[in-house]
A and B are shown apart, each in its own frame.
Chain A
Amino acid sequence: MVPQNLYYTKDHEWAQVNGDTAIIGITDYAQQSLGEITFVELPAVKKQVKMHDVVAVVESSKAASDVYSPLAGTVLEVNSELGAKPELINQDCYKTGWICKLKLSNPAGMKNLLNSVQYEEYLKSL
């Protein structure tokens, strides 16, 4: 089940938009494909990212996977708990496994993202 209140990318990131900020993370599909996540490289606070810039790296024994920012903005906050507990992404990728919070430079950018119905359709096509 894909949460309904989030926006998605075809690279399997999600964004929870609240006004001019957004929390971002990777989807259940992404965490399952990676397997046991052992390392997360978080962005620096205040880092500016464009849509689709690499904002984080998630690594498991299987692969190192870049996380692309679903939206453009400035990093306000990172989930520093992931440093010692990267497995939070496996356990609860939509809540405690969030990656970072952005101050959006263009809140309308979410129009380019998939809604939950579209993302679910997309998953079925894979």
Chain B
Amino acid sequence: MLKPGKAQYSYILNSIGNIIDDIIVYCIADDNYMMVVNAANEQKVKDWIAKVHSEPLLADSKWQIVIKDLKDASLPDAKVDIALQGPASAQCLKNIFGTDLGKLKSFTFTSIETKDLNLIISRTGYTGAKVGFEIFVHPSKATLLWDTILDKGKKLGVIPCGLGARDSLRIEAGLPLYGHELAGEFNISPFQAGYGWAVKLQKENFIGKEAIAKKAIDFQTEVARLEFGGGKGIRPIRQLDGILDSSGICIGHVLSCAGVGDRQIMLALIEKQYDIIDSPVGIYYLARNQNHIQQGRQEKVKIGDSLTADLAGKVVERFEKF
């Protein structure tokens, strides 16, 4: 059982073991849990929880469950999440709140109350940074907190950062994104994504257990992290471009890719026998426009196709060590 003050990465599965969303559950108290879901899956998750809640066979009858939508700003415990990530983040929070959170362990959290703010600060994040925090604040105070962080963090180098920058970081780190490295058009399971540890098959029961137990063994492709040349003058690799083995046979597809200095780091779904560190791999760029198609470039490739590599690279460790 999750203890108060601890958070856990997990999945919501449907009855056939497919992922509805990947989430983080925060245990606020023994009878109070907060769940952070992907914004894109919000409605799907709400619908699913409502459905499970309404089916006595699925729900645990020991509990009377009250579900609150913390996006509803009229609730006193409504929350939005601001992530402050990177090596100076602990110092920045110390400058603001006077509390040293540098020792807060990964996937734990604490509450901070000041005259103006009532916060949950958690050692979680989606950048791969060694140190990083997510700060949950009431929507009415989010602007105040944001401005305070930027102001007090200025000397430490704190800058605002959008979703695109966040995406480059999580790709470099090797973290999966729902719809890309989890579920999505290849219906990727946690086991393929390298997150089998997050599915507790030893538990007596959970929705989708039987179906997902089969997926734990039975898969041919898995998510690998690959590195290619990049930077100025090299065509950026895009989602669904083909991954080739050293003889030009297509062994998989690009899921996400980011430019990191003069390299391109990508997460790809490849046949698992090729997922060996330092193995040479190639990229086949899909046609980007009509001209490319006329020149004979494919719009789509599949495993087993024989192609010519446009760019050479290699398999690297599944996760970056920062």
Contacts and interface: CB of A to CB of B under 8 A. Distances in A.
A59 to B, nearest CB: 5
A119 to B, nearest CB: 24
B44 to A, nearest CB: 27
A49 B76 CA distance: 63
B289 A39 contact: no
B291 A39 contact: no
A38 B233 contact: yes
B290 A54 contact: yes
Interface stretch (A7-15, A80-88, A102-110): A80-88
A41 B258 CA distance: 20
A4 interface: no
Contacts of A54: 289-291
Interface stretch (B149-157, B184-192, B215-223, B234-242): B234-242
A10 B117 CA distance: 48
Nearest to B291: A54
B289 A66 contact: yes
Nearest to A66: B289
A39 B236 contact: yes
B288 A84 contact: no
A45 interface: no
A38 B288 contact: no
Contact of B259 (A38, A41, A87): A38
Contacts of A86: 232-233
Interface residues of B, number: 16
Contacts, number: 42
Contacts of A84: 232-233
B238 to A, nearest CB: 7
Interface residues of A, number: 16
Contacts of A2: none
Given A61-B258, A61-B259, A62-B164, A38 B291 contact: no
B268 to A, nearest CB: 17
B232 A41 contact: no
Interface string A50-84: 00001001011110101000000000000000011
Given A61-B258, A61-B259, A38 B236 contact: yes
A61 B236 contact: yes
A84 B230 CA distance: 12
B231 interface: yes
A60 B164 CA distance: 12
Contact of B236 (A59, A85, A87): A59
B227 to A, nearest CB: 16
Q: Which of A38, A57, A83, A85 has the most CB of B within 10 A?
A: A38
A85 B291 CA distance: 23
Nearest to A61: B259
A86 B233 CA distance: 6
A88 to B, nearest CB: 10
Contacts of A62: 164
A66 B168 CA distance: 24
A64 B238 CA distance: 9
A59 B232 contact: no
Q: Which of B164, B168, B232, B236 has the most CB of A within 10 A?
A: B232
**What are the 6 tightest A-B residue pairs by CB atom distance, in nearest-first order?**
A39-B235, A64-B288, A61-B259, A66-B289, A54-B291, A84-B233
15 contacts: A38-B232, A38-B234, A39-B232, A39-B235, A41-B235, A54-B289, A61-B164, A61-B168, A61-B236, A61-B258, A61-B259, A64-B238, A84-B232, A84-B233, A86-B233
Given A38-B230, A38-B231, A39-B235, 13 more contacts: A38-B234, A39-B233, A41-B235, A54-B289, A54-B291, A60-B236, A61-B164, A61-B168, A64-B288, A83-B233, A84-B233, A86-B232, A86-B233
